[in-house]
Structure 1
Amino acid sequence: MRFTPASILLASALALSASSGFSQQSATPAPSPRAVEWMAKGKAAADAGDLTKARDAYETALLLAPDQPGIFMSLAKIARAQKLPGKAIRYYGRALDLEPGNQAALQGEGLAMLDKGAVESARETLAKLRLLCETQCASADQLASAIATTKPPVTTAEAVTNAPKVEQQ
């Protein structure tokens, strides 16, 4: 009985100190100057249309600053431009891991899912994006219009009419 008040006090103190860490948002630290330099090289190469060189520069920047969502966003845009939607989805997912409320990453992920043909997944991403938007937001509207204009995927195999006939001997 003598330890009950002390244990309640200790448990309360531990609960308060543990929960205070959850309420604080950890800010993304600034990238190193070398990472910023490689990001600038990547942007310049992307603007010039050299996507391979841009990807290489951004990947180097990622090695120097692996906690920068902007680098993942740039790599995802390059992957979409190179027609690699699976890789783009993975990069957008990493950006969302670092910044869960990133509307541009959600929009990009939804568009990459459409590129891959995953219309239902894109609709789920749109629902997440609409939850983040407190009012009308352009990124959700653009994703919704892209979903609306996407042709439904083929669910059955189409018959080929001019297939060569194979005769059994």
Structure 2
Amino acid sequence: MILMEHIIREGHPTLRTRAEEVTFPLSVEDRQLAEDMLQYLKNSQDSEIAEKYNLRGGIGLAANQVNCLKRIFALHLTDDAGELVSFVAINPKIVSHSVEQTYIESGEGCLSVDRAIPGYVPRYARITAKFMTIDGEEKKIRLKGLPAIAFQHELDHLNGIMFYDHINEKEPFAPIPNSTPFERV
């Protein structure tokens, strides 16, 4: 079971290192890692389990964050329509994206960052992505809103990029051209 003590924090070199492609079929270790990452997110969103194990709530977790340089991340959240978006993405790629951008007005957070970092993080409003499932099946999905933002946040982790790298240092709340702020409905 992944606990907060297993999640590395900013400053750790693994968070700034590009993760390696994963080969199929998955090794027993890679499959277990993927399942454990998704389970952490589910546990962190269950108030009883989160309190018992002192877990910070999360909607995404990348392998880099548990000090493993594999191109694997998990997402577990609901979309704007209240539908559950829950999967493990292995070797994920964005194959197309909108011109329009979006950002979360209150800023983004991260399980590997123990401080609030104010500022807008520009993201594509809509993306089409491809990835492999745990079972080696190729998936192609379209995401918008918070799931699209979370997918981009986790994909950045796999490339050694932190969310705050996207914030305008001089003007953290400068308007982002061609964008609409994301608002949870």
TM-score relative to the length of structure 1: 0.28
TM-score relative to the length of structure 2: 0.27
Structure showing greater Rg: 1
Relative to total residues, which structure has the larger helix share, 1 or 2? 1
Relative to total residues, which structure has the larger strand share, 1 or 2? 2
